[in-house]
Chain A
Amino acid sequence: MSERNKEKKAILKNPGEKLLRVTVYPDGERIGDIQLAGDFFIYPEETIFDIQSCLVTLKPEPRAIIEAVEQVVHHKNIQMVGISPATIAEGVCRAMEEK
């Protein structure tokens, strides 16, 4: 199995938020592909794909991830309930750290 196909996962639930499951398919030190799942709410729902796409090729650096998500949120007029850019960043970094 190539490095890229080896999936890494993290699950977290921060206070006041919903459960977030992150699955990352690393491409070296960067995010090759990613899936965000859980019982949160994102409006419009279909923009989850935009949020996931904006993370591809990024390194697991919280500041960069938060900025990328916030940019999409602003550009696409997305509203998040039970999930936040900071939680996504935390989940991605935790997943990437998984051995």
Chain B
Amino acid sequence: MAVARSETWRLIIDTQLPGARNMAIDHAIMKAVADGKALPTLRLYGWDSPTITVGYFQNVEDEVYIDKCRKDGIDVIRRITGGGTVYHDNEVTYSVSIPLASAITYGTILESYQRIGIPIVHALSDFGLHAEYQPINDITVYGKKISGSAQTRKMGTLLQHGTIMVETNIDEMFRYIRVADEKNAGRELAAVKDRVVTMCSLMAPNLRCDHLYQHIAAAVARGFTKEFGITFREESLTEYELELAENYQEKMFSNPDWNLHRKVDAI
């Protein structure tokens, strides 16, 4: 089943922003799409400093060295999506907010992860990287994870956000993230580190990665066009979304009650 070739989405190419702001904007876009006040949206963004996000179902204390994060000024933010702990640093992040009525979402949840992952595979191939989707929510190159994603479905709308590791400092990542033995079958930390990979480590050694952000963002959009025939209209957030984002940022993603304890007052 293909998506109608005439489908038009909004494209937002954001700058590097604080983590709480990024999560608030994704949430606001999802709400605006649900309310019929925004087109289906692909957003590309970065992070203005290393930030950790944890999944909706995770306990922060189990997943990160919280004292070390506090000491080093690493924000730890809870997502509204499930999934695992992510260290965001020198990466391109994408988010897709689309109505559940969209053809992309048909079938099982697992199938929709794969379907949304394929444009990311296309984007990586634009840089000469042979990537593959790996269930449930990973994309790998040479068997190593380069991208992960997480999806939620609320208000008749799907939000999936995911990372593409560009020049992420893997050693720094594991200074802050705890590794559960059960997840890694008793492997040593070095072996666990060896299971993730960045774009820059795979590409030409002399390549300047600091200029890649815009190119990767454009490649992701092209991937969606190639796979689904989507036409993009590049626009900014609406006033409605900015207001929502402000509210979500203040009441949820900057709030320790939410980030540490998954508690939130009515918004």
- A→B interface (CB under 8 Å): 11-13, 16, 18-19, 21, 35-45, 48, 79, 81-82
Contacts and interface: CB of A to CB of B under 8 A. Distances in A.
Interface of B: 55-59, 62, 80-85, 109-110, 135-136, 150-154, 180, 182-183
Contacts of A38: 57-58
A42 B115 CA distance: 19
B57 A48 contact: yes
B82 A37 contact: no
* Interface secondary structure of A, over-half rule: strand
Contact of B85 (A11, A39, A45): A39
* Interface secondary structure of B, over-half rule: loop
Given A37-B62, A38-B58, A39-B85, A19 B183 contact: yes
A42 B57 contact: yes
Contacts of A79: 109
Contact of B110 (A13, A39, A45, A81): A81
Contact of B150 (A12, A41, A44): A41
B202 to A, nearest CB: 25
11 contacts: A12-B182, A18-B136, A19-B183, A21-B62, A38-B57, A41-B150, A42-B82, A44-B153, A44-B154, A45-B56, A45-B57
Nearest to B82: A41
Contact of A37 (B59, B81, B136): B59
A21 B59 contact: yes
Contact of A36 (B55, B57, B109, B152): B57
Contact of A39 (B80, B83, B109, B152): B83
A81 B56 CA distance: 14
